[in-house]
Amino acid sequence: MPYIDESPTMSPQLSARSQGGGDSVSPTPPEGLAPGVEAGKGLEMRKLVLSGFLASEEIYINQLEALLLPMKPLKATATTSQPVLTIQQIETIFYKIQDIYEIHKEFYDSLCPKVQQWDSQVTMGHLFQKLASQLGVYKAFVDNYKVALETAEKCSQSNNQFQKISEELKVKGPKDSKDSHTSVTMEALLYKPIDRVTRSTLVLHDLLKHTPVDHPDYPLLQDALRISQNFLSSINEDIDPRRTAVTTPKGETRQLVKDGFLVEVSEGSRKLRHVFLFTDVLLCAKLKKTSAGKHQQYDCKWYIPLADLVFPSPEESEASPHVHPFPDHELEDMKMKISALKSEIQKEKANKGQSRAIERLKKKMFENEFLLLLNSPTIPFRIHNRNGKSYLFLLSSDYERSEWREAIQKLQKKDLQAFVLSSVELQVLTGSCFKLRTVHNIPVTSNKDDDESPGLYGFLHVIVHSAKGFKQSAHLYCTLEVDSFGYFVSKAKTRVFRDTTEPKWDEEFEIELEGSQSLRILCYEKCYDKTKVNKDNNEIVDKIVGKGQIQLDPQTVETKNWHTDVIEMNGIKVEFSMKFTSRDMSLKRTPSKKQTGVFGVKISVVTKRERSKVPYIVRQCVEEVEKRGIEEVGIYRISGVATDIQALKAVFDANNKDILLMLSDMDINAIAGTLKLYFRELPEPLLTDRLYPAFMEGIALSDPAAKENCMMHLLRSLPDPNLITFLFLLEHLKRVAEKEPINKMSLHNLATVFGPTLLRPSEVESKAHLTSAADIWSHDVMAQVQVLLYYLQHPPISFAELKRNTLYFSTDV
């Protein structure tokens, strides 16, 4: 029977687990509509959730009807001299379908009028509770599911008449749909009941989220959710039988456990591979290029039986094959191109542009996103076959590396046998990969549907409070990862809390989000063993003791108040709080109301008061960074602890005599963060509001000589305190970039961090320049980065020389 993949994107195994990465979902939803929240809004949301569910319930009932349609004629022929199927075969294939149909028809008929005549008094919790109480029928269906599929497969192969019936079952379209019928295979329809329980559970979550706790429906929905989750947990062990391929050497069914796209270093270059982890073998494959209309297939690059697979430790592993690293500035250029293309696509759609033009832009965007995905990962993940070859993957996230390693190690605990696949067996296994895969698309935004969330753009403030649940004392710290441009990157790291079972960090971080949808927290045990050799700069020898992930739900995060949550990981509980500031809110420069401090005060006022050429705060922060932070990996990019930054801000504002002592004790990332904050909070940018349009025009000039004249003239036009401070900072950033092999901060990286900080106009001026909040790499931001990069790449510029040289011609700016 031909295979049509109509399986859901979320398998039953996954859906019973929480989206936050824990092992189970509590029947109590996140704080949704607690008492006091707008009842009207909650009521509207409940109606929207139910309307959507009702529409999908109608489709589901039509699918069950289509499945039942051939059952009666098949039964009628079973007693004749020429039966298509026997009574026993019919009962096996259609087992419990009639019962499931009747349950859902009754549920739909009861719920529909309630949704159509919606008001605040409507209750429907009892309907969901009754539906959940009938899940025993689904249990019987699931237990028989594998046999039903096998029977249908055999009957299809032995009977042409049944094969024709099972390949094209007609499903009625919804009432309002133009499509009267669609053709679906019997195999796809038999999977629908399993998918339905998952959907119902997700809807119960959403309903609870928008139901006040004092509403009569609340306890009933809670009970229905508990029953549904228990049922899903019970069928988690019954992995979808279609996710299997041939058998293991011990005669057991070989099942696909995990798959995904990874970057492999092969023959000195990066290649994107689709990696499949089966119960007893890891297979690395590449999708073959096929002509249009032909069935796609995978080509096996290599495989390792799990019995032969080992993870070499950093000191045991061979030196990595040399791969020419992709320059940071080229990766940043790609991000800018992607964002510019995204803007163009949105404009075309808004103007109802030609679909051909949109497709052309989408193709360009995919090409850039693919290159970024291929060239950005740097964390090594080594795999060794004890009988020979080693393989190296590069990942962007230690979380992802840990997931792969844990999944393999869990399977290796079983009694596995070594084996060699014959060419036919390998062909069958590789051939099954296309049908079995769970990850269908390369994880880039151009592969997303238009209605999928674009993610959050702006700043996420996270406080990592504490952790509990450690069985023995250790040196512990946490890192934070968020996704952007289709992959995860590490954004912040707490300090190491030494020799404890209950670390209390209470550290706050400001994390820039670029279309992010998830936050990951990883908890590490610090390794101080100096015998561990780092063969790669990017090797992480510290041990992950726990990890978890939460979805960044805009409704939860986008509030002015802090939202406190707990992530559970391997028995460890990490408590944290977060709040989100959108990009347009974070762009505001707020002048200080008091002129006594230094933050939010004009630079000319500060230098005059101090009788200095460069503000004291700038000189001291730069001196401290050059003394002990110039070799710090990610200096100026890694977030400092927000509470430390605020403490330094207060000390500088008060001109406290303990400033130098405090600076010498403070974490270097906090000092770097204080310097960035000082420039960000200036009432107008260092390069001034007045000259901003001219800087934007100057950097866009094509002729190098004209650009040089213009850019130098603009510097000369700055007020002296601004110019001297800018040149002082410029030379400092160049010295930081000289240490790029150690600190990983190139001139381009530094321009990306400081460009918007030094150029972004103040609030009044910026209104004319702001694009949509979602377009983080807007044309303005790109230009701001390019202006600073121009000066960073320029030969040394001295104040005296600038003032001495005059242009052949002068124009007013």
Return the amino acid letter for 186.
M
Tokens 């710290």, located at residue = 477
Domain co-membership, 117 together with 61: yes
Residues 551 and 665 both lie in one domain:
no
**266 belongs to a structural domain:** yes
- Comparing CA positions, the residue from 576, 604, 584 lying closest to residue 519 is 576
Here the CATH number for the domain that contains residue 781 is 1.10.555.10
How big is the CA angle at 396 (ends 390 and 402), to the nearest 5 degrees? 65
**In a shared domain, residues 549 and 675:** no
Residue ranges making up the domain that contains 546: 464-586
- Reading the block at residue 555, the tokens are 């409704």
Q: Is 9 part of any domain? A: no
Nearest to 372 by CA among 396, 403, 407, 346: 396
Cα–Cα distances in angstroms (integers) from residue 319 to residues 312, 395, 675, in the given order: 12, 17, 39
Please name every residue paired with 574 in a beta bridge, in sequence order, or none if there are none: 467, 567
Of 387, 415, 447, which residue is a domain's last?
A: 447
| CATH number, domain containing residue 478 | 2.60.40.150
DSSP string, 725-786: HHHHHHHHHHHHHHTHHHH---HHHHHHHHHHHHHPPPHHHHTTT---TT-TT-HHHHHHHH
Residue 248: per-residue pLDDT: 62
Instruction: Kindly state whether residues 232 and 256 are assigned to the same domain.
Output: no
481-535 pLDDT, tens digit each: 998 877 888 888 888 999 999 999 988 888 888 788 889 999 999 887 655 544 4
Q: Which amino acid is at 305?
A: P
Integer Cα distance of 432 and 244 in angstroms: 8
Final residue before a domain boundary, out of 238, 265, 294: 238
Angle ∠(517,520,524) on CA atoms, nearest 5: 170
Could you tell me what percentage of the chain is helix, strand and coil, using 3-state DSSP and rounding each to the nearest 5? 45, 20, 35
Tokens 């726990």 correspond to 546
Is the residue at 21 inside a domain?
Answer: no
Domain C-terminal end among 216, 238, 260: 238
- Contact between residue 769 and residue 685 where contact means Cβ atoms under 8 Å apart: no
Phi first, then psi: what are they for 582, rounded to 5°? -65, 160
Give the CATH number, domain containing residue 170.
1.20.900.10
In a domain, 474, yes or no: yes
Strands 390-395 and 456-468: unpaired
Asked whether residue 137 falls in the same domain as residue 225, the answer is yes
Same-domain check for residues 123 and 260: no
Residue with structure tokens 């949301």? 45
Question: Is residue 380 classed as helix, strand or coil in its secondary structure?
Answer: strand
Token pair listed for 806: 């005059």
In whole angstroms, what is the distance from residue 100 CA to residue 518 CA?
36
Residue 593 lies in a domain: no
- For residue 282, the domain's CATH number is 2.30.29.30
Instruction: Give pLDDT < 50 ranges for the chain.
Output: 1-37, 237-245, 293, 533-538, 764-777, 807-813
Residues β-bridged to residue 391: 383
Answer whether residue 251 is part of any domain.
Answer: yes
For 665-690, the pLDDT digits (tens) are: 899 999 999 999 999 999 999 999 99
Which three-class secondary structure string do you get for 220-287? HHHHHHHHHHHHHHHHCCCCCHHHEEEECCCCCEEEEEEEEEEEEEECCEEEEEEEEEECCEEEEEEE
> Is residue 139 within 8 Å of 227, Cβ to Cβ?
no
Do 575 and 602 sit in the same domain of this protein? no
Q: Do 552 and 699 share a structural domain?
A: no
Rounded CA-CA distance 387/309 in Å is 9
CA distance 236 to 193: 15
Domain tally, the chain: 4
Does 539 share its domain with 569? yes
269 and 335 inside one domain = yes
Residue 63 in any domain: the answer is yes
pLDDT of residue 504: 92
Give which of 519, 554, 454 is closest to 772, Cα–Cα: 454
**Are residues 620 and 514 part of one domain?**
no
Separation between Cα atoms, residue 216 and residue 125, nearest integer Å: 8
Residues 664 and 518 in one domain: no
Residue 489 placed within a domain = yes
